[in-house]
Structure 1
């Protein structure tokens, strides 16, 4: 039996507000992507905004997810028609659009991810990986606008001020809160613990829920993620092939130094 072109299980869970577990792929490595996919994560977020990804290794990471049930999402570098189109043509099941601050920007993000028949501007092609190189075009075209997840990130005071309008945009499925960027743009360098940042996050949470959008964000580990899921978040990125590995490596080396230190 052939695998679905797009992972409807993940998209349906998110739109229903159910929990989905995700990991960051930030190394630019298809091997670490495969490890996360084989481990059972529901979604893998290929980070083209901050990670060293090009189109070829993004393709390889998506291929690493194939057959595992893990849906490849892409955080595109910017809210840009070409970047969204290229990620989707590779077969992305969802797009994470950074730094959306206005209703118009949110509308553009949706338009970039939809075909003209659904009110968008996405170019159509019949030879790319998403349509299995021309072998399953009709199937993909019939489901792409329905199944692809569009999630926009709120990372600025302007985005917080406009969150009600942003969350009301039809076609925006989820609202992602970028705590470090948000706190930094609010004057607190990578410190979302500040009271005004926490108030801003609470406002985003309220408005997203009021408009029926799922909530996404990041957490440093499962303990942090569990608290967010308990608050009603549906998509939390709580492992990374960079920071999780570096923390484990550092901890192992520290244990060695402590237990095997020379007198």
Structure 2
């Protein structure tokens, strides 16, 4: 029996500013994706910008989420019509578009995720996974432009300067703050603790909230994420199948070395 892929409950929660749990899928592994989905994360972000994902293993990761309640998002490699279209045709419930710096780029990103009947440029097909290979076309077409989440990342001083105009674009659901990229483009290599970077982050937060857009970002763990949720963020990526495993592995090895020194 066919199962609708779009889960509007997550979109509604985000647009209402409620907290949503999220994890990074960066290994290119459908197995780790399945572990996160079965663990109960609300959203899984498949990182095609920096992770070793191709279309086939992205599909497998999305299939690993099916039936769990975990909604797959895709961070596409760039603000590009083809990448957005392919991610959505695979069944992504949301798109994270990196490095948005101007209102025009924001408008283009939204158009890439919408069908022409909603003012977009997304191509339509009746055979892809999103429409259950043709078995669910009517439902998907009726819901896609409403239920797919569009989140834009601000990662440059230009993006900060234009944040009010970016956040005002119709069809933008959320604003993601990439702290490492933002700090680096501001002259502080992967160091968002600097006062001017923190000031920029506050500027982004204020504009997103003023325009009713949810806020997203990353945290190293849940303790860090909770501080952000309490500050008004809705989507925080606080676990990763790469860095979380590496921290656990390093701690285990150090415990061994402490117990059995050479």
TM over 0.5, shorter chain: yes
- CA offsets 1:24-65 (integer angstroms, 9 cap, x no match): 000000000000000000000000000000000000000000
Aligned residue for 1:53?
53
Q: Post-superposition shift, 1:78?
A: 0.1
Aligned residue for 1:99?
99
Aligned residue for 1:260?
260
Provide the C-alpha distance between the structure 2 equivalents of 1:137 and 1:208, rounded to a whole number of angstroms.
34
Q: Quote the RMSD (CA, aligned, Å).
A: 0.7
Query: Per the alignment, in what secondary structure is the counterpart of residue 133 of structure 2?
Result: coil
- CA offsets 1:234-259 (integer angstroms, 9 cap, x no match): 00000000000000000000000010
Aligned residue for 1:215?
215
Pairs within 5 Å for 1:1-263: 3-262=3-262
Query: Per the alignment, in what secondary structure is the counterpart of residue 126 of structure 2?
Result: coil
Structure 1 gap ranges (5+): none
Query: Per the alignment, in what secondary structure is the counterpart of residue 237 of structure 1?
Result: strand
- CA offsets 1:90-137 (integer angstroms, 9 cap, x no match): 000000000000000000000000000000000000000000000100
- CA offsets 1:191-224 (integer angstroms, 9 cap, x no match): 0000000000000000000000000000000110
Provide the C-alpha distance between the structure 2 equivalents of 1:27 and 1:8, rounded to a whole number of angstroms.
27
Provide the C-alpha distance between the structure 2 equivalents of 1:145 and 1:92, rounded to a whole number of angstroms.
12
Q: Post-superposition shift, 1:4?
A: 3.1
Is this contact kept in 1: 2:2–2:135, CA < 8 A?
A: no
Provide the C-alpha distance between the structure 2 equivalents of 1:208 and 1:174, rounded to a whole number of angstroms.
8
- CA offsets 1:119-168 (integer angstroms, 9 cap, x no match): 00000000000000001001100000000000000000000000000000
- The two structures have a TM-score, normalised by structure 2, of 0.99
